[in-house]
Structure 1
Amino acid sequence: MTESPYAVPVPKGFRVGSWEVLEPLADGAFGSVYAARRTAAAPEALRTSADSAAPGADGELPAVAALKFLPTGTHTPHRFNHLRELAERETELLSRLRAPRIIRLYETLTADAPGRPGLDGATVLVLEKAETSLAALLRRSPAPAAGPALLVQVCEGLDQLHSAGWVHGDLKPANVLLMKDGSVRLADFGLAAELEGAAAYSPGFSTPDHAPPELHWAELGERGQQIRPSTDLWAFGVLAHLVLTGTHPLPGGTAEARGDALVRYARGTDDLRLSPELPDAWREIVTDCLARTHEERARHDASSLLRRAERAAGATSSSRLRSLRLLRGRPLLVAAAAVLGTAVALGSAVVYERGGEEVGYGYHHCPTRSVCFFSEENGEGQMCSWAASDPDWLAGPETCAWTRHAPVRSVYFNAGDPAGFHGVEYFRGPDFTPTGFDLERETLRTGCTAARAQGNLAGTYAPRSHRLVKRC
C-alpha cells in the first residue's frame, strides 16, 4: 500500500458538513488543504461554535471554500497532544479575530470517516479560498513589480494581528495568501500565540529560515517557546528581502548554510550584507527588522512598520498598474500602488490579455452582490467593496483608507441578486449624515446608484459612508 504524500489524505468527493471535497490545494507537516464546494445544509451535530463566523448579512456560506484538515488520530499520545494544540490555537484565533487582512474562518467541523483512521475525527476548518500563495507567486516571478504593494498589505495584517494581542510565529511566503482580487490574507495560525504581557508561548516549530536568532538556541520550557511581536518583525524583514530582491538576506545555498550565517551575524562576527537590488526606500526598514537582538527590534512595532512601508511603497512604485502573471493565457492579477502625495493607495484588479496586450478591466472585478467604489473613472484605480451598508468607511473591521487622500470617481452596484435592495446611497460624512457644506443641502446624500448600474460620479465626491436602499 502506497503511503499518501498528504498529512491528511482526503479522497475527492468526501463529504463533511455541507461541503464536498474537490482537488488538493496545499500540504504541510500539520495539515492538508483542499478546495471544496457547498452542497447542502450541514448536520448540526458536526458544527462547532465557529459557526457564528458565517459571512455576509444573510448568513449564507460561500459557494466554494478551502477546507483545512488537521489530524487528531492515529498518532502517539505525545504527537496527538501537539496536533491538538495546533488545531486549538488556529481555531481560537480565527474564531475570535475578524480583520480584513486575516484569512476568514466560516465554520469548524469534525470529519466522520470510521473506515479511514487517518481522517476520522480530524478537525476541519472551513476557510476563505485563496487564488494562490505568495510562495507560489515568487516561484513564478521572483521580485514581482507589485511587491511593495503586497508588503504593505502584509504589514496591515501584522498590525491587525498584534493590535488584537496575537503573534503569528511563522510568517513566511507560504503563509501569505493572495485572493482572487489580488488582496492579501495572513494564514496558518497553528503556531500563533496570544500575548501575556510582553511575550507569548508557542510550540516551537517555526521555520528556521524565517526565525530570529534568539529562537535558534532558545530552550523549550513547559509552556513551549517564548515568542514576541519582534519575532514577526524579523520574519517580515526576511519576507521583504525575498519579495523585493528574490533572494534571502543571509548568504547560503541551503537552509543549513543560512543558519550558520545567522549564527555568525548574531554573534557579531559577520555584518548584515543586504542585496544591492534592495530599493533604498526599503533598506532601512529591512535593516531594522533584521536587528540582531529582540531589544533592538522591539524599538519598532507593526503600526510604525506599516507607516514606513506605506512611504517606502510610495517611493518605489509608479502610479500605473503593475501586473503579476499567474498563468499564461489566464487572467492577470494586478496589485496597484498609486502615489498620492506622500501616501500610497493600494488596490487590485483583474485585466485580461487580448492579442498579447493588457486590456483595462473596467468594472468586472467587483464581487457579485457587492457595491464597489473606485478612485478613477470607469472602474479604474483603487477599489473598495462591501456586501452591506457601512456607516463609516474609515472605522470598524473593514476600512477604505485610500479615500483619506483621493476622491471617489466611479461606482458599480454589482447586485446580481439584490434581495430587495435595488440601490445604494452614498454620503460624505459617517453615519449617513453630511459634513461641511453638505449641511446646507436639502438632500443628505451625494448620490445614489441603482443595482447593476455602473458609472462615473460628477465632480470629486469623497464619500465616507453608504447604505443599501430599496430603490434610488
Structure 2
Amino acid sequence: MNGFPLTVPTGYEVGGWTVERPLGAGAFGSVYAARHTGGGRGDLPARAALKFLPTGTHTPRRLRHLRDLVDREVDLLRRMRSPRLIRLYETLTVDDPAHPELDGATVLVLEEAERPLQSLLSGAAPPSAGPALLVQICEGLHQLHTAGWVHGDLKPGNVLLMKDGSVRLGDFSTASELEGTHAYAAGFATPDCTPPELLWSEAGDRGTRIRPSADVWAFGVLAHTVLTGCSPLPGGTPTARRDAALRYARGEEELRLSPELPEVWREIVADCLSRSHEERAAHDATTVLRRVREAAAGRMPRRRRDGRRLVPLLAASLAGLTAAGLGLNALVDRPAGRNTAAGYERCAPGYVCFFSETGGRGEMCDWENDDPEWFDGDTVCEWAREEGPRSVFNNGAPDKNGFVHVSYFARKNLKDDLGCVPQGARRDLSIGLPIASHTWAKKCDEAATL
C-alpha cells in the first residue's frame, strides 16, 4: 500500500487482535483498525487502533533510532493517563518469520479514534466546531507541558476526533521529556508547524534541543488553520511557507493574519506566533489555555479589576458539552464568534453564572470576580432586582489559595448570607429573595448549600 511503511493484510492476527482496515500512516508507522478476537488481558476493549512500527529489520543504526522513537511513545503513554491524550492499552511484538517484512515489528494497541482533525479541514469552510476543538487541543497541550513533556509535532494529523465528539492528541514518537528548560527531540517535526528558530537548528548526538514554546508556535499555526482554513504564513508549498517564517523571524516581514480570523482569536494567535522563543515563552500553555477558553465562549479578554479574587481557568473543561449531549457544534457560531450554547453550557469555564429561569434557562449574568454590588458593579444584572435568579452554575476552578465556592448575599457589600454554591454545582434556587452581591469562598457551610 503506497505511503504505508508497513503493509498489513486484512485479517492478519496478532496478540488476539484481527486487522480490519487501514486508518493512516506516518513517517515510520502504519495504523490499522482492529477488533479483539480473544486472548490477552480481560480488560481490553472490543476495538482498537494498531500502530505497527518496523523495529525488527533495518541496519543497526536505523534500528536503534526506530527503537528510540517507539520507546519515547510507549514511555509517555504508560506514564500518563490524561483525558486529552490517546490511551495505550498494551504493546505487542510480531513473531512471524513467514512474513519477514512484519517479523519483529512493535505494535502499539491504542484507543480507536473516529478520524483525524485533518479530515475536517479539507472542506470549503472551516469547521463550525473549531473553537471548541481548539479548547480541547490546548487542554491536551497543557496536560503534556504540566507533566514535563513537549509534543514536538502538533499538527492536524496528530489531533484525533473520538466518536463521542471529544479530542485526543496522538503520535508521541517525537515527544520528549524536559530536562530543566529543554528536551531533545528526534527532529522529524512537520516544517509547517515548526517555529523559525528550529528550522535550521543542528541536531546533536541526542537530537534537536526543543522547548515548550515550540508547541505553542504549532498551536498558533493549528488555531489559524482551524479557524480560517489556511496557514498563517504565505506560500503554496511547505518550502515557501518555511522561507516566509524565516523572513518573519528576521523582522523582514510582518505577520499577516487572515481577515477571516475572528477578532477574539487574533491576539491569541499572534502571541503564539511570536517571532522568537524569548517572546513566545511569556505565553505558556497555562496562559494560552485560559485565553482560548474565553475566546471559545465568544469573549474578548476582560480588563482585570483590582481585588483579591480572580478565578483562573486552568482546571475547568469544555468536556461537559459532550456529557450534556450538546455536542461540539453547540458552543460557538464561528463566523460571528457568538456564544450559542444552551442552558447551563452558556457559562464559560472559570465563571459563576446566575439565570433568570430554572435549569439554566432565560437571561444570564456571569462573573469571574467577586462583585459586592450586582446592580452597579462589574456585571450589571438588572433582571435580578425584583425576584432574583432562579438557577446557578458554579463553573469555577480553584486558585492557589483555594477560593472555589461561591457565597451569595441579599445586600450589597457581602451582607446577609443567603447561601453557597459548591464548585461544579448546577442547581435551581428557591431562596425567595433577590441577590445583591457574591464572593468566592474557600468552603461552603453544609447548611448554606441546601
Same fold per superposition (TM over 0.5): yes
Give 1:9 deviation, angstroms: 1.0
Q: What is the letter of the counterpart of residue 279 of structure 1? A: P
| 2:78 is the counterpart of 1:95 | yes
Structure 2 residue aligned with 1:228 = 211
Question: Counterparts of 2:167 and 2:204 in 1: how far apart (Å)?
Answer: 34
Structure 2 residue aligned with 1:143 = 126
The SS at the match of 1:98 is coil
Structure 1 residue aligned with 2:160 = 177
Question: Counterparts of 1:333 and 1:14 in 2: how far apart (Å)?
Answer: 36
Give 1:141 deviation, angstroms: 5.7
Cα distance, 1:4–1:238 mapped onto 2, change above 3 Å: closer
Structure 1 residue aligned with 2:45 = 62
Question: Counterparts of 1:248 and 1:203 in 2: how far apart (Å)?
Answer: 25
Question: Aligned match of 1:291 in 271, 274, 297?
Answer: 274
Question: Counterparts of 2:329 and 2:427 in 1: how far apart (Å)?
Answer: 19
Deviation per CA, 1:431-466, whole angstroms, max 9, x where unpaired?
xxx96445898xxxxxxxxxxxxxxxxxxxxxxxxx
Q: What is the letter of the counterpart of residue 155 of structure 1? A: C
Deviation per CA, 1:211-263, whole angstroms, max 9, x where unpaired?
00011110011110011100000000000000000000000111111111111
Question: Aligned match of 2:260 in 250, 254, 277?
Answer: 277
| 2:136 is the counterpart of 1:153 | yes
The SS at the match of 1:125 is strand
Give 1:185 deviation, angstroms: 0.1
8 Å CA contact 1:214–1:293 kept in 2: the answer is yes
Question: Aligned match of 1:29 in 9, 15, 27?
Answer: 27
Alignment of 1:44-443 (within 5 A): 60-140=43-123, 142-315=125-298, 334-337=328-331, 338=341, 340-343=346-349, 404=423, 407=426, 436-437=445-446
The SS at the match of 1:140 is coil
Cα distance, 1:333–1:129 mapped onto 2, change above 3 Å: farther
8 Å CA contact 1:311–1:344 kept in 2: the answer is no
| 2:29 is the counterpart of 1:10 | no
Q: What is the letter of the counterpart of residue 38 of structure 1? A: H
8 Å CA contact 2:57–2:104 kept in 1: the answer is no
Cα distance, 1:267–1:4 mapped onto 2, change above 3 Å: closer
Give 1:197 deviation, angstroms: 0.2
Q: What is the letter of the counterpart of residue 242 of structure 2? A: G
Q: What is the letter of the counterpart of residue 8 of structure 1? A: L
Deviation per CA, 1:194-224, whole angstroms, max 9, x where unpaired?
0000010011111000000011110011110
Deviation per CA, 1:257-293, whole angstroms, max 9, x where unpaired?
1111111111110000000110111100100000010
Question: Counterparts of 1:267 and 1:288 in 2: how far apart (Å)?
Answer: 16
Give 1:316 deviation, angstroms: 6.6
The SS at the match of 1:258 is helix
Structure 2 residue aligned with 1:457 = none
Structure 2 residue aligned with 1:385 = none
Question: Counterparts of 1:101 and 1:183 in 2: how far apart (Å)?
Answer: 8
Q: What is the letter of the counterpart of residue 336 of structure 1? A: A
The SS at the match of 2:71 is helix
Structure 2 residue aligned with 1:427 = none
Give 1:340 deviation, angstroms: 3.3
Q: What is the letter of the counterpart of residue 19 of structure 2? A: V
Q: What is the letter of the counterpart of residue 346 of structure 2? A: L
Question: Counterparts of 2:112 and 2:348 in 1: how far apart (Å)?
Answer: 34
| 2:47 is the counterpart of 1:41 | no
Cα distance, 1:299–1:93 mapped onto 2, change above 3 Å: same
- TM value normalised by structure 1: 0.67
Instruction: Output the aligned Cα RMSD.
Output: 2.7
Q: What is the letter of the counterpart of residue 180 of structure 2? A: G
The SS at the match of 1:153 is helix
Structure 2 residue aligned with 1:398 = none
Q: What is the letter of the counterpart of residue 190 of structure 2? A: T
Structure 2 residue aligned with 1:425 = none
For structure 2, the 5+ residue unaligned runs are 301-320, 332-340, 352-358, 362-395, 399-421, 429-442
Question: Counterparts of 2:101 and 2:350 in 1: how far apart (Å)?
Answer: 48
Deviation per CA, 1:301-344, whole angstroms, max 9, x where unpaired?
11111100000111179xxxxx9xxxxxxxx9744323635548
Cα distance, 1:109–1:180 mapped onto 2, change above 3 Å: same
Question: Counterparts of 1:73 and 1:283 in 2: how far apart (Å)?
Answer: 47
The SS at the match of 1:124 is strand
Cα distance, 1:25–1:438 mapped onto 2, change above 3 Å: farther
Give 1:143 deviation, angstroms: 1.3
For structure 1, the 5+ residue unaligned runs are 43-50, 52-58, 318-322, 324-331, 346-374, 378-392, 396-402, 410-433, 442-472
8 Å CA contact 1:313–1:344 kept in 2: the answer is no
Q: What is the letter of the counterpart of residue 340 of structure 1? A: R
The count of corresponding residues between Structure 1 and Structure 2 is 336
Give 1:76 deviation, angstroms: 2.2
8 Å CA contact 2:132–2:328 kept in 1: the answer is no
8 Å CA contact 2:22–2:31 kept in 1: the answer is yes
Question: Counterparts of 1:91 and 1:440 in 2: how far apart (Å)?
Answer: 45
**Greater C-alpha radius of gyration:** 2
Cα distance, 1:185–1:342 mapped onto 2, change above 3 Å: closer
